[in-house]
Structure 1
Amino acid sequence: MKILITGGAGFIGSAVVRLAVGRGHDVVNLDALTYAGCLENLAPVKGAPGYAFEKVDIRDRAELDRVFAEHRPDVVMHLAAESHVDRSIDSPGTFIETNINGTYNMLEAARAYWVGAGRPEGFLFHHISTDEVYGTLGATGRFSEITPYAPNSPYSASKAASDHLVRAWHETYGLPVVLTNCSNNYGPYHFPEKLIPVVILNALAGKQLPIYGDGSNVRDWLYVEDHADALLLVLEKGKIGRSYNIGGENECSNLDLVKTLCAILDEKRPKNDGSYADQISFVTDRPGHDARYAIDPTRIREELGWRPSVTVEEGLAKTVDWYLDNTDWWQALLDRAGVGTRLGKAS
């Protein structure tokens, strides 16, 4: 296939690009290269046959039309989005413009291209979203594909809106779509503003390891390369109009996660004295911080035969190894806007 992938210079998008190119697909990578975009994420596919990069913002409809006309993709994987909850608290407008208006532009550009091409069989618009659209859980229960939407942050609300647009374009215009909602991703090339890279890099720098509130918030952790594999499977075998929840089946509290990372670092890069866990510090909680996320992966497991291959313990060890071995990659990002600064306190 020739796949148009938006946001392909980001964390999850670049994992999808690398895997898709590795499996022999032609890939057009469309990315605006905002603060979190990093072309170094794509070094393994640079110069690969069938790979092309387009620096385009999904808010620019004219440029989207040009990309569709020039590259004529068979399918679309839409990952481009603003994704950091703390940044959405401080600057919600950017999330509305990119995640809602940008998705609208993508849908309209895709629809115009699809109609103009005679509605080719096999065309598909795959929209990649988050489990945060469902809101928060208590101590029990899991999110399924029929869980009502109840987003609690500007980020999750903007992603929920984009999900609704995709469904509406399918029902109203017949655009062939499939949707996926994933749990928290982690792994190589994770931009250093999210919890796991922050902990790794702060630990190595001798800084405090900040944990929001009391650290009891629970997330389901999905290794990014497992996620990329699931996304390509849904693209190839998912049922049109269907949504699929993709989870790692690895629930863990933030405090336990950080302690696990500290233990891994103690083994792989021991300090002269004490443990990295001594650097743990509890900080003021994020406004509207969801208590727990958990994915019910029954549908994707039973319909498509997919399950994650990496446990959270294995994935965290692999992630720590990657950061220890790729100092040049993350050091180059530390001066980007907002990195190393506590965000999300505007309310």
Structure 2
Amino acid sequence: MTIAYLDRTVHETDGEPKPNGGVSTLSKSIDLQGSVETGDKTTIASKDFGGLYSTKPLALIKPAGSDDVSRVIKAASRIPRMTVAARGNGHSINGQAMTNGGLVIDMRSTEENHFRLLNINGSFFIDVSGGALWENVLTRCVSRFGLAPRSWTDYLSLTVGGTLSNAGVSGQAFRYGPQISNVTELEIITGKGDITVCSETRNPELFFGSLGGLGQFGIITRAMVKLQPAPDMVRWIRVVYTEFDEFTRDAEFLVSRDDGESFDYVEGFVFCNNDDPVNGWPSVPLDPVHGFNQGIIPQTGASVHYCLEVAFHYQKGDHPSNVDKVIIFFV
């Protein structure tokens, strides 16, 4: 598909460039395998999860792959004041995935470009697109290979490139580090539009700068992520505290254990001591047969309570006594 170069005419209002005239045709063109959407079709790119800002992009680019992303960035770099933003699943909170009068690249359109299992010296990795959702990566890795990435985020409807541009922190981070510590290779589209592969030994400055770099060093279009065997079963426990000191003491104890009996997942959070569906007891959902019984919590009058969420992984070959042994020390 050949599209016209995207241009915008701007005028100054209080020093800020404002779109005026939208998309116009220039003498040159860029060849894209993907598509370009304008007008009402860009609505999804005008807001994000935070809901704090709303901006109107000039166009929404749906690239077919890295080459498209590269061409768009190179074209934008030749247009004065043209800005580009990469959008994963739009889960930013302050408009980081938006651009006013610029180009938004919808990375979700590249999800199926890469999904390959690698065995390197007995260790397994998944080579996956930066636009893939972690929930889909998990499902496919477990169902096809019986493997799973080592470190996660709480919310899995996020893109690989999006969380790797931040950190990717969850209850496994105390053991394996955040998601950015479990990546061995990246493909980055730099601000000049160059497609660059990097790792700890190959373009290391770009590699470490991009991991947790908030997108300031380029757009992550592919990542090689470490895998481990997925558990067959998981024991999931939530413990509620009324006292912050007790909550933090137990959390520090659990994540600092090095005797081989620590949980595989440890995380804490706070919820309001009321029945508010967003911030109170109902916001701590459990399995339907294990409802949250707030009646057993001491009525201290505190406005908030604290919760430790822990989990232990089991394989089918584990002896049942192992389950009891691990749980006993916590009680």
Higher share in helix: 1
Greater RCO, 1 or 2 (C-alpha within 8 Å, sep 6+): 1
Larger radius of gyration: 2
Higher share in strand: 2
Give the TM-score of the pair, scaled to structure 2. 0.24
